[in-house]
């Protein structure tokens, strides 16, 4: 064995057997002293004298031990702990500096980690299934810019059994299922899955079996309709009873048999949903009644299709194969000749990596998340720059200490190590704080971002810290500490230190080069802060405009109550009667002023449109809504001409329609619309225009009000119409929840509990992304300003304190106090100006990236940019004022004597 | 090693280690005896400080040139006895040759007229 190995093993062993080694050392040294004593005795000393002499010769026992221990231990480990202790003491001695450093770092790290864990949960984390890398997502490429990820049933069924490249092909569709509970039906999030879904997932059920292709048939397997439930649902609904397999669940008024329970960690193929019930695809006509996506064939593009690659298959091979079968499937599965003609030659199936499943919300959130990540990165970088400048300034203040130590024989490496240790300690502590805060922050952000996309539909995202997040933050911590520490450490221990000892504070001759770096750092910081502030300003301005912009109705005090009527018995006029009863009861509730009904909720991202034509205006696609009487009064939509609907506008009384201004202008560009007819292009039925109302926003807050029309609910073609009651309420809306529940259980016992929510909430949710970005942006901007102010103040204060003597001399030679003030002030003014100019250039370039998030706001809004610059200038002035004032108060005599 | 210099000039670390290895040629010894032997054999010219002796002994043990065992000393007390390992013997012979060459060379230079 080489002596090096020997050494390592010996040291490691001594780490473990430390006590024993110490004891043996003591004994060995004791023996040596004993021998010395007996020799002195032999040489004729008295016992006492011998003892003293031996002691004297030996000196201090402790130092001995220390020296012997050094032989055995890892020298660097010792030094490291010593450095750490020393650094900690130093940091404790300047609590202000330490606190600021820790807070800024914790903020940067916490925010970055929080956003990263969101990104991780949404975009990076693989599905919790074996060999997730074999998973692929299928799409249809029609030669357009964006591939289509939605399939219709015929195409999917054709693919399902024609594949050699794939082990399994499966489809799913997230759905809300109505499950019969103790009182009426309850809405439970679920997913419809095709036969090979579970086979492809390869996750064993906790109890029972999973669904197979046998279950995915009309009417289910010979044993009847089957469902698989999730572990949480089993615990909640069946109290975790072990005999759950074989029990019945009544879904959509139809009995299903529970055949299996999936473990909690299995959340399906969409990482943003947590289905409680997995039902076979073929039962869609039952579950989604009165809708039927399967028999709608080419008209329902409702399925997400995924596939697991066969062992040994590559994505390229799979794609080649899909391409080969695309045309045949198009011809075989499609029943629409015109569609085939349209698609021929450009239609093909494709596969892309799907190891982390498929989530529609990814398309919505990828960009905002990445933008936020950049913002967080900005604040982290800012924190690092700030700390670097502050440490540098501190290093400057500690130059004499360091120089003294160098002169006493400390190596430069040693000093650099110690200074690095300081920044490492800071970085570690800061990162730890940040990490502790990160989960809370990411929860809050996830809630804001994904907050109820639609009432009754929740999006869940697992943002827990996993290995990837952890590694990420470790990387940040190390990078930050090196970023923070290395430059100041190298500078502080640089070659000019000897000069420093000789010169003390007379650094008037300090070469400009030495001043350049800290200034460049501060300039970068100011520029970065300006970018953040300007970005936040743009986002906030846009958000304010979104809220203020004309909705066309007054959302304050409007409450929606959604009734799901699709699974109960009543139809047609009877159902309308039921709605009238509900409306009458709601009107008697305390605080309710107006009540009406609508089928489409404005701003809910859902809509219904149709093509209509008039002789004068031609054919136009308009958005539609069916509403009850008094709708326009309830919503405060102005009725310009004509009359409101009444309950007498039945199917028998002739079809009526109300147009908004834009639609009226389209259909009747030159003349009176009232009393005229417009014709539905598809149904060839004609409608009489009975009123003109004001424009209101329809699908989305972000787009201007479109041309729209309203029809009476009595004349709506939909069977078993599910309507929303709209109420204008004075005071709190909370009591309405219980009231509408008892009302529903009294008048329509079988329907699920109505969902009550104020329209404001819907607007807030639909603006979740914008709100989150604006809130984060403003928060970060405020932090950036604070950090920059601290940085500017700190560096200038240090710089001035080192020039005390020089300034003293200037004053002694007759410099005016105001001159001195200006001189000091100028230092920061130059930094701030250059920083603002570079920041402005960067902000103008980067603001293009924000353009897609902005509403009625140009990415180069001069007000925002001007304001940001003013703000930063004000902050820079405030930060420079104190040091400058202090410099002007320097007493020449005291300053010079101070040396 | 910045030891306090002895009254007979500081021994270089490498040289001290060589002397220790030499002292243990004749068999296992405890630290005191090693120091004593060097002191006597050098006509009382070299005195090995305990502050240098023990770290050197431990270093050699750590590198595997010596191995140590606890045994009874001449006055019947527990003492740590060091002895050469095979590795140590090899090192001693190379050091001896190196020293001979070095001292001869230094002598030539110093005697040059």
Which residue in B32, B64, B70 is closest to A3 by CB distance? B64
What SS3 class is residue B71? strand
Spell out which residues of chain A touch residue B77, defining contact as CB-CB under 8 Å.
31, 34
Nearest to A71 among B51, B59, B80 (CB): B59
Which positions in chain A touch B29 (Cβ < 8 Å)? Answer: none
Confidence of residue B5 (pLDDT cuts 50, 70, 90): very low
pLDDT in tens, B65-94: 999 899 888 888 888 999 999 999 999 999
Write down the pLDDT at residue A702.
82
pLDDT digits (tens, 9 = 90+) for A580-635: 999 999 999 999 999 999 999 988 878 888 899 998 888 999 999 999 999 999 99
Please give the structure tokens belonging to residue A67.
């020296």
Please compute the mean of the pLDDT values over residues A779-808 and round it to a whole number: 82
Looking at residue A99, its pLDDT comes to 81
At A125, give phi and psi (nearest 5°).
-65, 125
Percentage of chain A lying above the pLDDT 70 cut: 93
Instruction: Kindly determine whether residue B62 and residue A10, on different chains, have CB atoms separated by under 8 Å.
Output: yes
Flag if B62 and A29 touch (Cβ within 8 Å). Answer: no
Are B62 and A58 a contacting pair at CB < 8 A? no
Cβ distance A880 to A796 under 8 Å? Answer: yes
Crossing angle, helix A361-397 and helix A467-492, to 10 degrees? Answer: 30
Asked if B90 has any chain A CB less than 8 Å from its own CB, the reply is no
**Residue whose C-alpha is closest to residue A233's, from A266, A193, A282, A280:** A266
pLDDT in the model for residue A634: 95
**What integer pLDDT is reported at residue A505 of this predicted model?**
47
Which residues from A are below 8 Å from B79, CB to CB?
Answer: 28, 31
Q: Is B52 on the interface with A (CB under 8 A)?
A: no
Q: Is the pLDDT of residue A898 over 70?
A: no
Q: Counting beta carbons within 10 angstroms of the beta carbon of residue A752, is it exposed (0 to 12), middle (13 to 18) or buried (19 or more)? A: buried
Helix and strand counts by DSSP (H, E) for chain A: 28, 22
Peptide bond into A385 cis (omega under 30): no
Per the CB < 8 Å rule, is A36 touching B30? Answer: no
Q: How many angstroms separate the CA atoms of A442 and A512, rounded?
A: 45
Q: What is the dihedral of CA A253, A258, A263, A268, to 10 degrees?
A: -50
Structural tokens at position A182: 């103790």
Phi, psi at residue A350, to the nearest 5°? Answer: -145, 160
pLDDT for res A507 = 46
Closest CA to A829 of A781, A532, A837: A837
Taking the Cβ of residue B50 and every Cβ of chain A, the question of whether any pair is shorter than 8 Å is answered with yes
For an interface test with B, give the residue of A3, A11, A62 to mutate (most B CBs within 10 A): A3
In the block, which residue shows the tokens 């090196």? Answer: A482
* Inter-chain CB proximity B50 and A10 less than 8 Å: no
A788 CB neighbour count, 10 Å cutoff: 28
Can you tell me the distance from the alpha carbon of B69 to that of B29, in angstroms, rounded to the nearest whole number? 10
Please compute, for residue A599, the number of CA atoms within 13 A of its CA located in the half-sphere on the CB side.
25
Cα dihedral A452, A455, A457, A458 sign:
positive
Task: Give me the half-sphere count of Cα atoms (radius 13 Å) on the Cβ side of residue A714.
Answer: 18
CA atoms of A351 and A305, how far apart (whole Å) = 10
Q: Is B2 on the interface with A (CB under 8 A)?
A: no
Helices (H), chain B: 13-23, 31-41, 50-62, 86-111
Flag if A34 and B78 touch (Cβ within 8 Å): no
**Predicted TM-score (pTM) above 0.85:** no
Q: CA nearest A32 in B: which residue?
A: B32
A33-55: per-residue pLDDT in tens? 888 888 888 888 888 888 888 88
Minimal CA separation from A498 to chain B, in Å: 24
Instruction: Tell me whether B39 touches chain A (CB under 8 Å).
Output: no
Q: Look at phi and psi of residue A202 and say left if phi exceeds 0, alpha if psi is from -120 to 50, else beta.
A: left
Query: Which pLDDT belongs to residue A76?
Result: 63
A-chain residues within 8 Å CB-CB of B7? none
Contacts of A28 in chain B (CB under 8 A): 30-31, 54, 79-80
Give the DSSP H/E element, type plus range, for residue A187. Answer: strand A185-193
- Helix A95-119 with A75-93: angle, nearest 10 deg: 110
- Residue A26: what pLDDT? 83
Cα–Cα distance, A756 to A626 (Å, whole number): 20
- Structure-token pair, residue A860: 């180069």
A817, A413 Cβ separation under 8 angstroms:
no
| A350 close to A147: Cβ distance less than 8 angstroms | yes
| pLDDT for the residue numbered A513 | 54
Q: Judge contact between A194 and A304, C-beta under 8 A.
A: no
B80-110 burial: b if 16+ Cβ within 10 Å, else e = bbbebbebbeebbeebeeeeeeeeeeeeeee
Q: Which residues pair with A309 in a beta bridge?
A: A166
Asked whether the predicted pLDDT for residue A509 surpasses 50, the reply is no
In the prediction, which pLDDT does A426 show? 81
Q: What is the mean pLDDT of residues A849-866?
A: 85
Share of chain A above pLDDT 90, in %: 29
pLDDT (mean) for A506-517: 56
Give the up-direction half-sphere exposure of residue A871: CA atoms within 13 A in the CB hemisphere. Answer: 22
Average pLDDT, chain A: 84
Whether the per-residue pLDDT at A506 is higher than 70: the answer is: no
Residue A234's SS3 state is helix
pLDDT band, residue A762 (cuts 50/70/90): confident
Q: Is A736 in contact with A729 (CB distance < 8 Å)?
A: yes
More confident residue, A250 or A452: A250
DSSP codes of every residue in A377-425: HHHHHHHHHHHHHHHHHHHHHTHHHHHHHHHTT--HHHHHHHHHHHHHH
- Cβ of B50 and A57 within 8 Å? yes
Q: Is B50 in Cβ contact with A7 (below 8 Å)?
A: no
Q: How confident is the model at residue A544 (pLDDT cuts 50, 70, 90)?
A: confident
* Integer Cα distance of A874 and A860 in angstroms: 22
Asked if residue A527 has pLDDT above 60, the reply is: yes
**Residue of chain A with shortest Cα separation from B34:** A32
């Amino acid at each position: 064995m080489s002596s090096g190995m020997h050494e390592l093993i010996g040291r490691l062993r001594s780490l473990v057997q430390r006590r024993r080694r110490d004891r043996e050392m003591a004994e060995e040294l004791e023996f040596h002293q004993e021998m010395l004593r007996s020799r002195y005795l032999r040489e004729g000393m008295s016992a006492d004298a011998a003892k003293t002499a031996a002691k004297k010769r030996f000196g201090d026992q402790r130092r001995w031990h220390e020296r012997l221990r050094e032989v055995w231990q890892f020298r660097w480990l010792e030094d490291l702990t010593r450095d750490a202790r020393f650094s900690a003491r130093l940091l404790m001695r300047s609590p202000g500096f330490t606190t600021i450093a820790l807070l800024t770092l914790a903020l940067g790290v916490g925010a970055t980690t929080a956003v990263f864990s969101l990104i991780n949960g949404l975009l990076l984390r693989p599905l919790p299934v074996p060999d997730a890398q074999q998973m692929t997502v299928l799409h249809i490429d029609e030669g357009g810019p964006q591939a289509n990820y939605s399939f219709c049933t015929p195409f999917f069924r054709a693919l399902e059994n024609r594949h050699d490249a794939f082990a399994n092909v499966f489809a799913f569709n997230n759905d809300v299922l109505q499950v019969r509970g103790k009182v009426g039906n309850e809405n439970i999030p679920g997913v419809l899955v095709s036969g090979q879904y579970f086979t492809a997932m390869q996750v064993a059920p906790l109890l029972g079996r999973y669904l197979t292709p046998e279950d995915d048939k009309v009417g289910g397997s010979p044993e009847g309709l089957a469902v698989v439930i999730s572990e949480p649902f089993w615990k909640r609904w069946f109290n975790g009873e072990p005999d759950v397999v074989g029990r019945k669940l009544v879904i959509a008024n139809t009995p299903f048999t529970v055949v299996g329970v999936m473990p909690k960690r299995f959340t399906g193929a969409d990482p943003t949903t947590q289905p409680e019930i997995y039902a076979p695809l073929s039962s869609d006509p039952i579950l989604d009644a009165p809708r039927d996506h399967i028999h709608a064939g080419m008209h329902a593009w409702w399925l997400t299709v995924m596939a697991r690659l066969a062992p040994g298959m590559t994505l390229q091979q799979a794609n080649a194969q899909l391409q080969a079968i695309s045309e045949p499937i198009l011809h075989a599965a499609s029943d629409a000749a015109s569609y085939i003609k349209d698609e021929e030659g450009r239609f093909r199936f494709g596969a892309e990596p799907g190891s982390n499943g498929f989530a529609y919300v990814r398309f919505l959130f990828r960009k905002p998340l990445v933008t936020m990540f950049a913002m967080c990165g900005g604040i982290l970088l800012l924190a690092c720059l700030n700390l670097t400048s502050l440490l540098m300034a501190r290093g400057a203040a500690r130059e004499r200490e360091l120089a003294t130590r160098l002169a006493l024989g400390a190596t430069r490496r040693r000093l650099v190590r110690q200074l690095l240790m300081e920044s490492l300690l800071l970085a570690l502590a800061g990162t730890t704080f940040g990490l502790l805060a990160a989960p809370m922050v990411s929860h809050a952000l996830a809630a804001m971002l994904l907050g109820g996309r639609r009432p009754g539909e929740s999006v869940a995202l697992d943002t827990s810290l996993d290995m990837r997040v952890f590694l990420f933050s470790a990387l940040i911590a190390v990078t930050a500490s090196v970023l923070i520490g290395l430059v100041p450490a190298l500078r502080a221990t640089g070659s000019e230190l000897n000069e420093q000892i000789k010169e003390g504070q007379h650094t008037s001759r300090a070469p400009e080069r030495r001043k350049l770096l800290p200034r460049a750092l501060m300039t970068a910081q100011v520029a970065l802060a300006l970018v953040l502030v300007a970005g936040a300003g743009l986002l906030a301005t846009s958000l304010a405009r979104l809220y203020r912009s004309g909705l066309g109705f007054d959302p304050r005090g409007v409450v929606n109550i959604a009734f799901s009527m699709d699974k109960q018995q009543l139809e047609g006029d009877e159902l309308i009667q039921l709605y009238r009863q509900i409306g009458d009861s709601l009107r008697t509730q305390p605080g309710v002023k107006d009540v009406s009904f609508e089928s489409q909720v404005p701003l809910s991202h859902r809509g219904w449109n149709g093509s209509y034509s008039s002789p004068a205006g031609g054919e136009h696609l308009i958005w539609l809504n069916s509403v009850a009487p008094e709708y326009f009064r309830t919503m405060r939509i102005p009725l310009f001409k004509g009359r409101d609907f009444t309950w007498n506008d039945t199917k028998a009384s002739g079809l009526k329609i109300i147009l908004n201004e834009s639609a009226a202008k389209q259909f009747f560009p030159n003349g009176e619309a009232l009393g005229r007819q417009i014709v539905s292009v598809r149904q060839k039925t004609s409608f009489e225009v009975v009123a003109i109302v004001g424009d209101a926003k329809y699908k989305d807050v972000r787009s201007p009000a479109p041309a729209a029309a309203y029809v009476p609910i009595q004349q709506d073609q939909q069977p078993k119409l599910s309507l929303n009651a709209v109420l204008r309420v004075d005071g709190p809306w909370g009591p309405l929840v219980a009231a509408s529940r008892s009302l529903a259980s009294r008048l329509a016992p079988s329907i699920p509990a109505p969902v009550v929510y104020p329209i404001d909430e819907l607007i807030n949710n639909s603006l979740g992304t914008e709100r989150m970005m604006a809130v984060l942006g403003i928060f970060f901007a405020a932090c950036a300003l604070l950090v920059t102010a601290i940085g500017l103040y700190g560096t200038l204060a240090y710089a001035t304190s080192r020039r005390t003597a020089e300034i003293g001399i200037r004053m002694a030679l007759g410099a005016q106090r105001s001159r001195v003030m200006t001189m000091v002030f100028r230092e920061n003014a130059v930094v701030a100006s250059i920083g603002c100019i570079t920041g402005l250039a960067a902000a103008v370039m980067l603001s293009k990236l924000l353009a897609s998030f902005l509403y009625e706001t140009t990415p180069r809004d001069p007000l925002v940019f001007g304001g940001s610059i003013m703000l930063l200038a004000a902050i820079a002035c405030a930060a420079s004022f104190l040091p400058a004032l202090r410099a002007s108060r320097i007493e020449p005599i005291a300053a010079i004597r101070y040396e | 090693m910045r030891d306090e210099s002895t009254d007979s000039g500081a021994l270089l670390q490498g040289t001290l280690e060589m002397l220790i290895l030499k002292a243990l040629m004749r068999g296992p010894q405890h630290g005191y005896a090693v120091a004593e032997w060097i002191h006597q054999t050098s006509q009382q010219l070299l005195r090995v400080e305990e502050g240098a002796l023990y770290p050197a002994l431990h270093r050699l043990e750590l590198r595997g040139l010596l191995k140590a065992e606890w045994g009874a000393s001449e006055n019947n007390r527990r003492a740590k006895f060091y002895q050469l390992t095979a590795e140590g013997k090899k090192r001693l012979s190379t050091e001896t040759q190196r020293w001979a060459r070095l001292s001869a060379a230094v002598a030539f230079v110093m005697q040059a007229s």
